[in-house]
Amino acid sequence: MCLLLLGLAALALINPATADTVLITGSSRGLGLEMASQYAADGWDVIATARSPDDDDALQALARTYENIRIETLDVTDHGEIEAVAAKLRGTAIDVLINNAGVLGNPDQQQLGKLDFSAAEMLFATNTFGPLKISEAFLDHVAASDTKKIMTISSIVGSMTNTTGNIYFYRASKTAVNMMMANFAVDAKKRGIIVGMIHPGVVDTDMSAPFNIPKVAVEDSATGVRNVIAWYTPGTSAQFMQYTGEPMAW
Ligand SMILES: NC(=O)c1ccc[n+]([C@@H]2O[C@H](COP(=O)([O-])OP(=O)(O)OC[C@H]3O[C@@H](n4cnc5c(N)ncnc54)[C@H](OP(=O)(O)O)[C@@H]3O)[C@@H](O)[C@H]2O)c1
């Protein structure tokens, strides 16, 4: 009996129960930083990516608080860097990948009469092509996990049904990422991967600062987004959801 217990204890040391792993892009501030904090507090292994983490004091402080946070440098517009980080993390199963990094751009350059089309390139590179490239690069990591989820933080402003004018390029970059990820969901399904697009609310972060409208606290948005991520199943993959758990019109 004693030998049996010793054997089981040794086995537990060799095969410790592993925590789920989440990779979050754009973890330096705002929603990404808050989601990294909440997942870490819940015991997840967090791969918090940021484009210039050495300058990101809040993220560095969070990583000092939680030893289960690992920081990786990742600019979502730099495809070579995306491939390099994916190669570095080869063999690491990623349960949930969250495409969170995003930019609004200058709203003044996105008004009718002042449209500056050169501003659109950065928006599409970040908000649309970044999530698709990252989802492709980390496909094997997610497929190797138990949970197998790739989630993208989209926006109500990308909804064709809810459009209200202005911020042309930002809106279109979010509409386009919804199409990219809905299409990606068809291919990813063959690997058992669940895909989601989530509107996080109008969140009180740097991004929403130009808009004087009611906002959701970042803590509440992150909690809601995490609940919706947990809600997704193979049967609900590829749906466009709000952080409240309600469906979002395309
Ligand atoms: N706030 C809202 O009301 C709202 C509403 C709907 C959807 N969203 C979406 O929610 C997501 C998070 O936004 P937020 O409100 O947290 O905005 P935020 O406070 O402005 O944070 C944006 C994050 O994205 C990162 N980022 C920007 N460009 C990047 C790049 N090329 N590579 C890597 N990281 C990059 C930023 O990093 P740096 O610190 O290095 O700039 C920052 O961490 C975005 O996708 C946004 O479109 C926000």
pLDDT one-digit tens code per residue, 119-145 = 999 999 999 999 999 999 999 999 999
The pick from 153, 207, 229, 241 for probing ligand 1's pocket by mutation, whose C-beta has the most ligand atoms within 8 angstroms, reads 207
Exposure string of 88-116, with b = 16+ CB inside 10 Å and e = fewer, is: ebeebbbbbbbbbbbbbbbeebbeeeeee
Distance 126 CA to ligand 1 centre (A): 9
Mean pLDDT of 76-87: 98
Length of the chain: 250
* Closest atom, ligand 1, to C-alpha of 206: 19
Per the domain annotation, does 8 fall within a domain?
no
* CA angle at 230 for the pair 215 and 137, rounded to the nearest 5°: 95
Residue 54 inside a domain? The answer is: yes
34 lines ligand 1 (CB under 6 A): no
The atom of ligand 1 lying closest to the CA of 29 is 43
* Ligand 1 pocket test, candidate residues 59, 85, 153, most atoms within 8 A of CB: 153
Answer for the pair 76, 25: CB distance below 8 angstroms, yes or no. Answer: yes
Residue 14 lies in a domain: no
Q: Residue 229: inside a domain, yes or no? A: yes
Q: Is the CB of 167 under 6 A from ligand 1?
A: no
Number of compact structural domains in the chain: 1
Flag whether 179 is in a domain.
Answer: yes
- Mean pLDDT of all residues in 157-178: 97
Is residue 182 domain-resident?
yes
Which residue puts its alpha carbon closest to atom 20 of ligand 1?
Answer: 207
Task: Look up the CATH number of the domain holding residue 192.
Answer: 3.40.50.720
Nearest CA owner, ligand 1 atom 10: 153
Whether the Cβ atoms of residue 128 and residue 152 lie closer than 8 Å to each other: no
Q: Which residues pair with 49 in a beta bridge?
A: 72
Is pLDDT of 7 > 80? no
What is the predicted pLDDT for the residue at 8? 43
pLDDT band at residue 17 under the 50/70/90 scheme = low
Yes or no: say if 60 and 250 are a contact pair by the CB < 8 Å rule: no
Residue 98 has pLDDT above 90, yes or no: yes
| Cα distance between residue 235 and residue 194, in whole Å | 9
13 within domain boundaries: no
What token pair was written down for 81? Answer: 């860097």
Contact indicator for 229, 151 with CB cutoff of 8 Å: yes
Query: Given this model, what pLDDT does residue 18 score?
Result: 80
Question: Does any ligand 1 atom lie closer than 6 A to the CB of residue 131?
Answer: no
The answer as to whether 233 is a domain residue is yes
The set of residues, in sequence order, having a beta carbon less than 8 Å from that of 239 and lying 6+ positions away, is 196, 197, 232, 247
Is the confidence at residue 15, as pLDDT, over 90?
no
Question: What domain range includes position 64?
Answer: 20-242
Which residue from 12, 24, 104 is spatially nearest to 63, judged by alpha carbons? 24
77 Cβ inside 6 Å of ligand 1 = yes
